[in-house]
Amino acid sequence: MTTIEKPAYKVIGTRPIRPDGVEKVTGKALYGADVHLPDLVHGAVLRSPHAHARIRSIDTSAAEALPSVLAVVTHADLPAVADTVIDTGEGVTRASDMSLNVLAGDKALYRGHAVAAVAATSAHEALAALDAIAVDYEPLPPVLSVRDAMRADAPLLDENRRTKQPDGALSDGPSNVAAHSRFEGGDLEAAFADADAVVEREFDTKMVHQGYIEPHNGTANWNPDGTLTVWTSTQGAFAVRAMLAELLRLPVSRIRVVPMEIGGGFGGKIGIYLEPLAALLSRECGRPVQLTMDRTDVFQATGPTSGGHMKGRLAVKDGVITAAEVSLAFEAGAFPGSPVMAGAMCMLSPYDVANFRVDAYDVVVNKPKVAAYRAPGAPNAAFCVEQLIDELAREANADPLAFRLRNSAREGTRMITGVAHPRIGHEETIGAARDSDHYQSPIEGPNRGRGVASGFWFNAGMQSSVVASVNPDGTVNLIEGSTDIGGTRASLAMQLAETLGIPYDDVRPTVADTDSVGHNDVTGGSRTAYASGQAVYEAGLDIQRQLVERAARLWECEAEDVSFVDGELRHASDADRRLTFAELAGKQMETGGPLQGRGSVVARSPGAAYGVHVVDVEVDPDTGKVDILRYTIAQDAGTAVHPAYVEGQMQGGVVQGIGWALNEEYYYNEDGRMENASFLDYRMPTSLDLPMIDTIIVEVPNPGHPYGVRGVGEVPIVPPLAAIANAIHDATGHRFTELPISPRRVVEELHHLR
């Protein structure tokens, strides 16, 4: 559904085949582990068996003496880094933390923390050589939850860490709480005192992983002249380059990062793990070195997203949400940087709440350092707030969607940050969900229930840069630098074709390495179709301008007498003077030489995304199993450039949300060992666990983009956890406040087994 009259686009809104499709389905696409170079050698990484331990010493001499071993590196081989902050686009990290994360310093802070790396004549020899490295550990008690980490007597991960408090001052004593932030507005106590009803609950969620199919990998070649080339699977080649320059103290220009095809990222392939190790090993042995992870490494040693503890208290008066007091404490993993602030800022953004206090705690624990995961922080926070809103609607005897509509944010509503919303589409999205066949159909039968929830995500803008070269036959090569995870080669080529008035098939997009295109921030924050799309549009306008000038030169007239309409150059007064795009492209030599368009932007108006989800479940009260019977998602896409890929993003987000709601969790033993570090026991949903997920694309164009595009990739994972919990409550009468709502939890709670 579209809310306003849409311009008559020719390419935007169609569903062409993706440019990378054939290579992927025929197995020809090249991923990081497909990199084969002359003299390439393989490496292996020694990882801490302890969740928390002091490293007294590392003796690598026996490993180095092995004839098969070509290089061994530890943290001591990393240069001292400045205490700078690196902004990777989806979060900031201190360079010193990053350096200690890629190779442990005097402490191992989680099981799987890299301690040393080896390059050898074969992958098997490298693995065998790890056994020859002697690490003297002093095991320390691990801290495995925010509740434990926040206790006054908790073991400290870093004795020097102080809490950064809401006023910016540091706490007097050391703490595992890296930061405490607060948002306040209105008169909270008066609103609670005046309320018709107040609901209050606590919630807990577990650490979960993005679960991308392709494990991390990194191949590095360090030349004697100090130039370094890195091939890797990443969401942002420029971010990898920046981080490597910082960690290895190299000038940025000396590093070339080649982004290979990516087998999924969801935020988890922004940070770096293997790349600096491969680089150091290559420097030491003088040969290119490749490192790859197995699934266990991916689970234990890369960044999942936070679990945490949340407490919420909401009030309603005359059908209006009048007060919200919410406290969020999220696990950051071994180093600060959980997405708790994003969660705090998102969870109330679908609504207009006058009185609020929101506290956010960033807490370190002995688990892997978290990374971004699709709308980082927002799903957990929505699990808390959207369940409380469900309860408030029941207290107010209101339909849950009508209640959300009544309280919805709209243009001008201020978020808890004080920033006013521009044009947003939450109300339209609620309306689409309400009017859906799904919501209009009754749910019947025992043990069945329906739940709804809303979700918000900011979406990001940031920097993008593209170059488009016009070929003599009128086709165009688009060189861009944004990793294509969700079909952005297609959606960017479509926007360029639209701008130039040429067919989609005439534009061939390529994701280039860092030497071959201007800076591009990461593919993250749902920014690429929007921000790189804006750069593509600028490049198209640049080509249009040059075409007009060239036509004017050919026709010996003024440029203002030439217009570019529907892919054609036309003379204002002489109807016979016309040139198609392809005709003029064929006259480049005589009109000024090779024609290139450039677009470089800092995109500042991403336009937030809203999703409203409706889900029906059936609970088997005897086994605790929850079946998803029907799922409908309505989402504001602004303008859906390629509707099939928008729908795919919506469905994909829901699938990950269903897994998070029902089965996924990092299952730790008391020593801090993750016991389910495989896809067998880390239970993501299979196709047999899912119904068809119906999609309704709502289009409230983003005024900040020439074609009205909003990011679509992240917000669909925000509502499912809460929507499913609300549906299970509807089915069973029991409110589940802890994730995952696994069969084990359902039978234990429904049958009072613990």
Contact residues: other proteins, CB under 8 A: 124, 127-128, 622-625, 662-663, 667, 675-676, 679-681, 683, 685-686, 688-689, 742-744, 747-748, 751, 753-754
* Residue 163 amino acid letter: T
What backbone torsions phi and psi does residue 550 show, to the nearest 5 degrees? -70, -40
Q: Which is nearer to other proteins, 589 or 688 (CB)?
A: 688
Q: How far is the CB of 662 from other proteins (least distance, A)?
A: 8
Distance CA 498, CA 409 (A): 33
Strand order from edge to edge, sheet including 289-292: 69-74, 114-120, 41-47, 289-292, 217-222, 228-232, 255-259
What backbone torsions phi and psi does residue 169 show, to the nearest 5 degrees? -75, 155
Q: How far is the CB of 596 from other proteins (least distance, A)?
A: 50
Q: Which is nearer to other proteins, 217 or 663 (CB)?
A: 663
* Residue 566 amino acid letter: D
Whether residue 722 contacts residue 613, with contact meaning beta carbons closer than 8 Å, is answered with: no
What is each CA distance from 256 to 37, 215, 242, 441, 541, in whole angstroms?
16, 22, 10, 56, 30
Helical segments of 398-487, H only: 400-406, 426-434, 437-440
Q: Which is nearer to other proteins, 433 or 619 (CB)?
A: 619
Q: Answer whether the bond into residue 740 is a cis peptide, omega within 30°.
A: yes
In 493-619, where do the E strands start and end? Answer: 507-511, 562-565, 568-571, 578-580, 596-603, 609-619
Q: DSSP state, 260?
A: P
Q: DSSP state, 702?
A: -
Q: Which is nearer to other proteins, 474 or 685 (CB)?
A: 685
Helix pair angle (488-500, 533-555), 10° resolution:
30
The CA-based angle 520-523-525, given to 5 degrees, is 115
Q: How far is the CB of 318 from other proteins (least distance, A)?
A: 43
Q: How far is the CB of 749 from other proteins (least distance, A)?
A: 11
Q: How far is the CB of 123 from other proteins (least distance, A)?
A: 10
Q: How far is the CB of 299 from other proteins (least distance, A)?
A: 12
Q: Which is nearer to other proteins, 152 or 680 (CB)?
A: 680
Q: How far is the CB of 670 from other proteins (least distance, A)?
A: 12
Q: How far is the CB of 440 from other proteins (least distance, A)?
A: 28
Q: Which is nearer to other proteins, 554 or 690 (CB)?
A: 690
Q: Which residue has the tokens 């679908």?
A: 350
Q: Which is nearer to other proteins, 362 or 665 (CB)?
A: 665
Q: Which is nearer to other proteins, 95 or 128 (CB)?
A: 128
Distance CA 50, CA 366 (A): 9
Q: Which is nearer to other proteins, 397 or 687 (CB)?
A: 687
Q: How far is the CB of 688 from other proteins (least distance, A)?
A: 4
Enclosing H/E stretch for 296: helix 295-301
Enclosing H/E stretch for 343: helix 340-346
Exposure string for 234-253, b = 16+ CB within 10 A, e = fewer: bbbbbbbbbbbbbbbebeee
Q: How far is the CB of 675 from other proteins (least distance, A)?
A: 5
Q: How far is the CB of 653 from other proteins (least distance, A)?
A: 19
Distance CA 491, CA 506 (A): 14
- Count the helices and strands in the chain (H runs, E runs): 21, 30
Q: Which is nearer to other proteins, 13 or 685 (CB)?
A: 685
* Residue 473 amino acid letter: D
Q: Which is nearer to other proteins, 84 or 686 (CB)?
A: 686
Q: Which is nearer to other proteins, 188 or 731 (CB)?
A: 731
Q: Which is nearer to other proteins, 128 or 582 (CB)?
A: 128
Whether residue 256 contacts residue 230, with contact meaning beta carbons closer than 8 Å, is answered with: yes
Q: Which is nearer to other proteins, 262 or 731 (CB)?
A: 731
Residues pairing with 619 in the sheet: 626
Q: How far is the CB of 393 from other proteins (least distance, A)?
A: 30
Q: How far is the CB of 748 from other proteins (least distance, A)?
A: 6
The CA-based angle 107-108-113, given to 5 degrees, is 145
Distance CA 242, CA 227 (A): 14
Give the HSE-up count for residue 177: Cα atoms under 13 Å, Cβ half-sphere. Answer: 25
Q: Which is nearer to other proteins, 461 or 740 (CB)?
A: 740
Q: How far is the CB of 501 from other proteins (least distance, A)?
A: 49
Q: Which residue has the tokens 């689970």?
A: 299
Q: Which is nearer to other proteins, 575 or 753 (CB)?
A: 753
Distance CA 90, CA 503 (A): 34
The CA-based angle 90-95-96, given to 5 degrees, is 135
Structure tokens at 140: 């320390």
Q: Which is nearer to other proteins, 487 or 685 (CB)?
A: 685
Residue of 52, 608, 615, 209 lying closest to 386 (CA atoms): 615
Q: How far is the CB of 305 from other proteins (least distance, A)?
A: 19
Q: How far is the CB of 659 from other proteins (least distance, A)?
A: 9
420's CB contacts (< 8 A; 6+ apart) are 411, 412, 413, 414
Rg of the chain over CA atoms, in angstroms?
27
382's CB contacts (< 8 A; 6+ apart) are 346, 347, 453, 454, 455, 718, 719, 721, 722
Q: Which residue has the tokens 């997405």?
A: 339
Residues pairing with 644 in the sheet: none
Q: Answer whether the bond into residue 643 is a cis peptide, omega within 30°.
A: no
Q: Which is nearer to other proteins, 33 or 103 (CB)?
A: 33
| Residue 722 Ramachandran class (φ > 0 left, ψ -120 to 50 alpha, else beta) | alpha
Q: How far is the CB of 206 from other proteins (least distance, A)?
A: 12
Distance CA 230, CA 223 (A): 11
Q: How far is the CB of 297 from other proteins (least distance, A)?
A: 12
